[in-house]
Structure formats: C-alpha cells, structure tokens
Amino acid sequence: MTSSMIIFYTLAALLVLSSLMVVFQRNVVHCAMAVVAALFLIAILFVTLQAPMVGVLQILVYAGAIMVLFLFVIMLLNPTSLEPRRGLWWGFGTVVALLLGGALAALVSHDEAPADPFTATELFGAPESLAKSLFTDFVLPFEIASVLLLIAIVGAVVLAKRGN
C-alpha cells in the first residue's frame, strides 16, 4: 500500500468519524462543530488531489460562511429541548447504514488492485477550469444555490423579528 493510499484512508476514516459525531451528538452546537471538522477534512482531500483552489474555497465558503449562518440560526432558535428519538427512524437508519457499509466493504475487499485515489487530470482544480465549468456548465445550479442561501438569510431575519 502506497503512502498516498494510507493518507487517503486515514482522512476518509477521520471524515467518517466526524460525520458520525454529527449524527450522534445531542448538543446541536457540537454537531455544527463536527460538520466544520468534516468540511475541513474534505478540503484537505481536495488539496491532496492537487486542487488547492477548491480546497481553499471549501474552507471559505462552507466551513466559513455557511457554518456561520448555521450557527447564527442555531443560536437564534435556542434549542433547549430536543425531540425524543423515535425507534422506527433509528431502526430504518441503522438498516440503511449497515447496507451501505456492507456495499462499501464489498467494494474495498474486491480482488483487483485499487486505483490510486490521488490521480487527477492535469487541469483538475485549476482556477481557469473551475471558473469555466462553474459559469458555463453549472451556471443554473450555481444561481439556484445563491437563491437558496438568500432565502435562508431572509428566513433567519424573519424568525429574529418574530421574537421581538
């Protein structure tokens, strides 16, 4: 196993651990901090793929701006009591997680030698290719995401005014 594979699997394991902390924490602020940790780990994965621009944007946009918005809404709503956990949904989630874990284990234990996860094309993550694909191929999803963020901000303001 090469060193890049070891780095990849270590980052992947930390990412899975961080994601599980998001699901199983009872405190919503701790959940939000676990999301920030997961987003930072994803940014590190992008940097290891020789896409530092995408990694920096991941940190600035998601771990920075979006999580500040999430934490603002969490603090604004002040969730002192959480809903009780329902057994039916936990059972369904457990079954789905076990099925996905089994599928992943089957893929990892396949007899063929795995491809190097850090192989990327020459222009992967370059600012020019990122801008070209963002503003030509993905302009509609980009604008939809902008509108959704605007709606989230307006919703937070409406909720804040309602309390006064």
- The pLDDT tens digits for 38-63 are 999 999 988 888 788 888 888 888 88
| Domain co-membership, 109 together with 142 | no
Q: What is the pLDDT of residue 15?
A: 92
Q: Which residue has the higher pLDDT, 56 or 72?
A: 56
Lowest mean per-residue pLDDT among 18-27, 47-56, 114-123, 152-161? 114-123
Lowest mean per-residue pLDDT among 22-26, 86-90, 144-148, 152-156? 86-90
Nearest to 45 by CA among 17, 19, 101, 7: 7
pLDDT in tens, 94-127: 888 788 888 877 777 776 655 555 555 566 667 7
- State which residues form the domain around 155: 126-164
| Domain co-membership, 21 together with 72 | yes
Q: What is the DSSP string of 92-143?
A: HHHHHHHHHHHHHHHHHT-SSPPPPTT---TTTT-HHHHHHIIIIITHHHHH
End-to-end CA distance of the chain, in Å? 60
User: For residue 27, what is the DSSP state?
Assistant: S
What's the total number of domains in the chain? 2
The answer to whether 117 touches 4, Cβ cutoff 8 Å, is yes
The first and second tokens of residue 120, run together, are: 């990327």
Number of Cβ within 10 Å of residue 67's Cβ equals 16
The first and second tokens of residue 38, run together, are: 């997961």
| Domain co-membership, 39 together with 96 | yes
| Domain co-membership, 23 together with 102 | yes
